[in-house]
Amino acid sequence: MPAFTEAAAFLSRIGRQAHTRGWALGTSGNFSAVLSTEPLRMAITRSGMDKSRLEPEQVLEVDERGAVVQGEGRPSAETAVHLAIVRARGAGAVAHTHSTWSTLLSDVHAAAGGLAIEGYEMLKGLSGVTTHVHREWVPIVENVQDWEDAAPRLEGILARHPGAHGFLIHRHGLYTWGADMEEAARHLEVLEFLLEAVGRKAGREWEQAWPR
Ligand SMILES: [Zn+2]
């Protein structure tokens, strides 16, 4: 597991990259990494930080309840989501973006409770996936403002979809994770690519079916 300074440098770098790629504009999105499991300690980006200028000093260390143990300021408002993913999946790192495609697709597929992605070579970038024939189910969860309250429900959804590498929050964005920071960053890239591919394809089919 990484030391705090190493995690802070990595998380601030993937946060800036996510901004550059249009996935975490303004202060949106947050990124975390587990520093130790007993007791649980996690590095996570500070609340309200502009991701275009994210610096290692804007990363905090929190305990298993989300209380700050190192650094200045408040942790992300969605710290409870990161902690729920770490508990449910044993994840070593979590990435969260508010990208255009994750936001749009979470709306379009909300009634189905998720969306399936299958047949794309890029699926092999997800841990444990060895063939493009894989069918990835991306659950969609309701958006709320109190995630501490919603954490047990979220852990229930993760338990019902043990193969999922990420989930969408309705009209909000994408969460993904990995065994370590590198894997979480890779899953973020892969899922953002797949969501954009699925979204663009559906938009094209819609235009062909309903020509102007
Ligand atoms: Zn968010």
Residue 92 Cα to ligand 1 middle (Å): 19
* CB-CB contact of 82 with 56 (8 Å): no
Q: Structure pTM?
A: 0.96
The predicted structure's pLDDT at residue 208: 85
* CB-CB contact of 75 with 47 (8 Å): yes
* CB-CB contact of 122 with 134 (8 Å): no
Residue 212 Cα to ligand 1 middle (Å): 35
For the chain, list residues with pLDDT below 70.
212
The predicted structure's pLDDT at residue 76: 87
Residue 83 Cα to ligand 1 middle (Å): 14
Residue 207 Cα to ligand 1 middle (Å): 30
Give the closest residue to 59 by CA, choosing from 181, 145, 186.
Answer: 181
Residue 133 Cα to ligand 1 middle (Å): 31
The predicted structure's pLDDT at residue 94: 98
Residue 181 Cα to ligand 1 middle (Å): 19
For residue 119, the 8-state DSSP code is S
The predicted structure's pLDDT at residue 211: 75
